[in-house]
Structure 1
Amino acid sequence: MPTREHEEQFRLFVRQQWGPLTRTAYLLTGDRGTAEDLVQSALEKTHRHWGRILRKDAPEVYVRRAMVNTAISWRRRRRPVEVPLLASDTEPVPDAYARVEQRQQLVLALRQLPRRTQAILVLRYFEDLSEADTARILGCSVGSVKSQASRGLARLRGQLTPAAPPPPVRLQGEPA
């Protein structure tokens, strides 16, 4: 049975961690509404075991592990994907803010990685956690975090590196 002190500690934890948790959830899901649902779900699981978590684990570790596991579980169930009605809906719209566009491309590329690799990159580079903390959250070895992060970064670089422009087209009879 949660005590009044535990309830207050949980409220304080939620107030302090809502922003960082929502950011992590967004990077895991790619959608603001789904990210908020993911944080709510993870916090609900955390609240149920709050007293035990305070004694045993760091709450940040527990809630992030719950978020990663829930996101992977949701992905396995695979919700129906929205289908654009027009071909123009799938084309990126040029934006005056190149940085915003780069971030969007990065998030899309991140979405294409395996869920475990995606979780490692989010925790290591977006949340700025150490390899040891990332391994502890995901319940794997530091070596596994290093190797999957390396492979994931290589795939991201390959997807985000601009392609070389095509060679110019030469018309027949035109000097080279």
Structure 2
Amino acid sequence: MSDRDAEYLEYVTAHRGRMLRTARLLTAGDTHWAEDLVQVALTRLYVHWSKVRKEDGAARYADRILVNAFLDERRRMWRRRESATEQLYDAASPPSQDPAERLTVLGALAKLPRRQHAVVVLRYFRDFDVQTTAELMGCSEGTVKSQTSRALSTMRELLHDSLETMESLR
């Protein structure tokens, strides 16, 4: 195994879990789709590993590839996905002790347009600042702020209705 391959394998071993957690959030808990996105990102990262490892920007580059893979995938209109209405999500889901609440949040997240969805995951689940989110998404900071505002407004509406319904059932 070459030094290049050994360094790449070491990187993947250390960072694949983080990438998978991010991908699961981007895909609203769809583990299979998340694994596909991580595989695409790691494949693209390997192709450019010689350049990326010299710049010490592998993590940022991998995050950017992951977000782009998600956005590209969501753009494909021909791709149809099955979406289960009741699905168990694993520990990579948003932090919440109540499984029903966690499912509700993931459901609302899945209903957002792709860019708003990505902004919420990057800003609130990965805890990136506006500048980093803009770099990862390839847009301006103003766009990140406006997409965040719209996403949060939509999430509030979706969650308000859903949580009221859940409360009335208790």
Q: Structure 2 length normalisation: TM-score?
A: 0.80
Q: Specify the alignment match of 1:37 in structure 2.
A: 36
- Name the CA distance, whole Å, in 2 between partners of 1:44 and 1:92: 29
Q: Which residue number corresponds to residue 81 of structure 1?
A: 81
Q: Which residue in the other structure is 1:61 paired with?
A: 60
Letter in 2 for 1:44: T
Change beyond 3 A, Cα 1:131–1:54: same
SS in 2 for 1:67: helix
Shift of 1:92: 8.8
Residues 13 and 83 (structure 1 numbering): CA distance in 2 closer, same or farther, change over 3 Å?
Answer: closer
- Structure 1 residue matching 2:127: 3-state secondary structure: coil
Percent identical: 38
Residue type of the alignment partner of 1:24: T
User: TM-score, normalization: structure 1?
Assistant: 0.77
Structure 1 residue ranges without an equivalent (≥5):
85-89, 167-176
SS at match of 1:80: coil
Counterpart check, 1:13 vs 2:11: yes
Specify whether residues 8 and 108 from structure 1 end up closer, same or farther in structure 2 by C-alpha distance, changes over 3 A only: same
- Paired with 2:87 and 2:47, the residues of 1 have a C-alpha distance of 43
Larger Rg computed on CA atoms: 1
Structure 2 unaligned residues grouped into runs of 5+: 89-95
Rounded to whole Å, the distance in 1 between the matches of 2:120 and 2:44 is 24
- Looking at structure 2, the residues matched to 57 and 146 of structure 1 have their Cα atoms a distance apart, in angstroms, of 28
Question: Once the 2 structures are TM-superposed, how far is the Cα of residue 91 of structure 1 from its aligned partner?
Answer: 7.0
2:59 maps to amino acid = E
The superposition leaves residues 50-70 of structure 1 with CA deviations (integer Å, 9 ceiling, x where unpaired) of 111123461122112211221
Structure-1 separation of matches of 2:33 and 2:87 = 22
What is the SS of the residue equivalent to 1:128? coil
Instruction: Give the structure, 1 or 2, with the largest relative contact order (CA under 8 Å, sep 6 or more).
Output: 2
The alignment partner of 1:159 has SS state of: helix
131-140 or 44-53, larger mean C-alpha shift: 131-140
> 2:7 is aligned with what amino acid?
Q
Find the partner of 1:27 among 25, 28, 34.
25
Q: Using the TM superposition, name which of 51-60 and 106-115 deviates more.
A: 51-60
> What SS does the corresponding residue of 1:81 show, helix, strand or coil?
coil
Residues in 1 aligned to 2:38 and 2:24: alpha-carbon distance in whole angstroms: 9
Structure with greater proportional helix content? 2
* Map of 2:93 onto structure 1: none
Q: 30-39 vs 142-151, which deviates more?
A: 142-151
CA shift in 2, pair 1:39/1:83, >3 Å? closer
Question: What secondary structure is seen at the aligned counterpart in 1 of 2:98?
Answer: helix
Q: What's the RMSD between the two structures over aligned residues? A: 2.7
Structure 1 CA distance for aligned equivalents of residues 83 and 37 of structure 2: 23
